Structure 1
Amino acid sequence: MVEFFKQRIRRIRYITSFVSLALMVVSLIALSINGLNLGLDFTGGMVTEVRVDDQLTHTQMVEVLQPEIGPFTNVTHSDQDGRWVVRYPVPQPGEQGADLTQLLTSISHQVEVISNSMVGSQVGEDLIDQGGLALLISMLSILAYLCFRFEWRLASGSLLALLHDVVLVLGFFAATQMEFNLTVFAAILAILGYSLNDSIIIADRIRELLVAKQALPTEEINDQAILATFSRTMVTSGTTLMTVSALWILGGSALQGFAIAMFIGILSGTWSSISIGTVLPEWLKLEPKHYLPIEVDNAP
């Protein structure tokens, strides 16, 4: 496989770059048409803590509550056996709210409502504002770091690769209308750091080769840089994907959105660092002279 990759590295880079751009367009269209299906963390809702029989499982709770309260009902285990926290949307005007005690009586001998509170929409709006500000600050910080570390042509490839990964994850959640909550947003911030790490390693190798092998064209230098870091990229991405896959399978519904977002982000981050991160500098005419010291004319 490695030999196959070596022989076709440039063709793979160009093909995946066009695929990435096409996926970005599709994701932006999905975002503009469907929008994100914001969860209760952002829109507000009811939070009820109940005590039921100790032997009840998460699956049993969800199977009883979701059909009656709604598909976005979230059930998490509390700090004690038999205690669960149920989050669900506020009933619309004119609708009668579901009676959790009555619903849970069918599967539990004892049902006790310990607390019941409502998270208002104002709190959700504040979370949206704060989350957007956090994403903006992180992107500006990354932009400042890339501009300081690399020449702008090389930095632009890494930055576009980051935007590509975020847009693909958001586009997937817009297209599937899966719940977008705080755990998914946390995954997006984690994806930014993961993808940036991949892009910086490849870009740093490109910078070294531009100075060391000035006679080679930029396309050949990019090929060599990817091949030099390929094994490291595959090992890092592979082990991370195995961890995220285990989290996806065993983490339950509470972590499903986080695991899916991370899985997509790791895959897209790996190929975008190889494709977009190297092809865009080529289109912008990156050359070895951009990393050579500027000659100063000392003539009088």
Structure 2
Amino acid sequence: MNILGKIKYDFMGKRKIALVVSSLLIIMSLISIVTRGLNFGLDFTGGTVVVVHFEEGIGVTEVRENLEASGYQNIVVKNFGSSKDIEITLPPQEKAVATPDMDEQSDSTQKDEAKLSNAVLEELKKLDSSARISKADFVGPQVGDELIEQGSLALLYAIMGILIYVTIRFEWRFSLGSIAALVHDVIITAGVFSIWQVEFDLTVLAALLAVIGYSLNDTIVVFDRIRENFRKGRKATTEQVINNSIGQTLSRTVITSFTTMLVLLALFFFGGDLIHGFAFALIVGVIVGTYSSIFVASTTTLALGISREDLIPVEKEGANLEHIP
């Protein structure tokens, strides 16, 4: 049973208000991204990650304060699965000597990072003599630059694929409406990360791709109902058809978003620091994606002049008699 029933509300009558809200959010997001940028994590900037194991649990704050007092700046310290394992992320360190040969430079870098990991371990042994390194990784700046490029291309290819898919399944006005909603969602979600300077790493990039899929799913459900209602309500205006379609699918949209949010909130609060950014990006994306599937996608399609004739081609008179010789 549909617990919400068919929602009757003039959604399209509020499209100007929605346009103002969306425009302000996008402008704020773009200004923040341009002026403040994203707080890229180690995956993109390069640096060293050291996971230190302790026999007894130790506080993250205690470890951070100890390392900062020893001269390590801009470090990120968080639990790695349990309170006995601490993950420490250090930004790239200045090198005293630069070697022209790439192989020599690579060997020198590895030695420097090994020395850095050992130096961090020695500092932490002052807190707990049982400290030992269980994992140490180094990501070079060149790898980070490649990940930024590849990640941007992944988003672009996903949007292009969706554009082609929706055009084939529905109509080009619907495809532009869905793309407008997806771009809207990605920009605002990235803007939230920029404004609050939440760490942006590969898990967040994966979350953005998941947001695209989630938002598109909601949008396709609404578009399917619009197409069905165009065929049923021949006397209804385009605006009335879109309003009725959104109202008929709103209960499904709300219930899906609500159950998804329950899982994401559990991951955000109890999943640990490792997936904190991933869960946060999806929480923002689900909220923005639900809003955009109602107001942005359908509003854009309406503004482009979608009509019943675009979805139901007019049959030529006598076309059904062409088989008669």
Q: 1:12 to 1:65 in 2, by over 3 A?
A: farther
Aligned counterpart, 2:302: 282
Larger Rg, first or second structure (1 or 2): 2
Structure 1 position 273, deviation (Å):
0.5
Aligned counterpart, 1:201: 221
CA-atom RMSD in angstroms: 2.9
Q: Residue 77 of structure 1: which of 71, 77, 80 is its match?
A: 80
Q: 1:101 to 1:72 in 2, by over 3 A?
A: closer
Distance 1:81 1:234 in 2: 37
Distance 1:45 1:143 in 2: 37
Distance 2:305 2:272 in 1: 48
Q: Residue 22 of structure 2: which of 20, 23, 47 is its match?
A: 20
Point out where structure 2 has 5 or more consecutive residues left out of the alignment. Answer: 97-114, 320-325
1:144 aligns with 2:146: no
Counterpart AA for 1:32: V
Structure 1 position 82, deviation (Å):
4.6
Structure 1 position 103, deviation (Å):
3.3
Q: 1:29 to 1:268 in 2, by over 3 A?
A: same
Q: 1:116 to 1:231 in 2, by over 3 A?
A: closer
Counterpart AA for 1:18: V
Distance 1:186 1:31 in 2: 19
User: How far does the alpha carbon of each residue in 1:32-51 deviate from its partner, in whole angstroms, 9 at most, with x for none?
Assistant: 22221211101110122433
Structure 1 position 137, deviation (Å):
1.4
TM-score computed with the length of structure 1 as normaliser: 0.87
Aligned counterpart, 2:37: 35
- Identity, in percent, stands at 36
Aligned length: 297
Point out where structure 1 has 5 or more consecutive residues left out of the alignment. Answer: none
User: Which moves more between the two structures, 24-33 or 260-269?
Assistant: 24-33
Structure 1 position 253, deviation (Å):
2.1
Structure 1 position 53, deviation (Å):
2.0
Distance 1:230 1:36 in 2: 34
User: Which moves more between the two structures, 154-163 or 4-13?
Assistant: 4-13
Aligned counterpart, 1:132: 152
Counterpart AA for 2:199: E
Structure 1 position 116, deviation (Å):
4.3
Q: 1:26 to 1:84 in 2, by over 3 A?
A: closer
Distance 1:197 1:104 in 2: 48
Distance 1:81 1:20 in 2: 42
Distance 1:81 1:18 in 2: 46
- Conservation of the 8 A alpha-carbon contact between 1:47 and 1:116: yes
Where does 1:166-177 land on structure 2 (aligned, <5 Å)? 166-177=186-197
Distance 1:252 1:59 in 2: 15
Structure 1 position 296, deviation (Å):
3.9
User: How far does the alpha carbon of each residue in 1:189-225 deviate from its partner, in whole angstroms, 9 at most, with x for none?
Assistant: 1000000000000011111111221221111101100
- Conservation of the 8 A alpha-carbon contact between 1:53 and 1:109: no
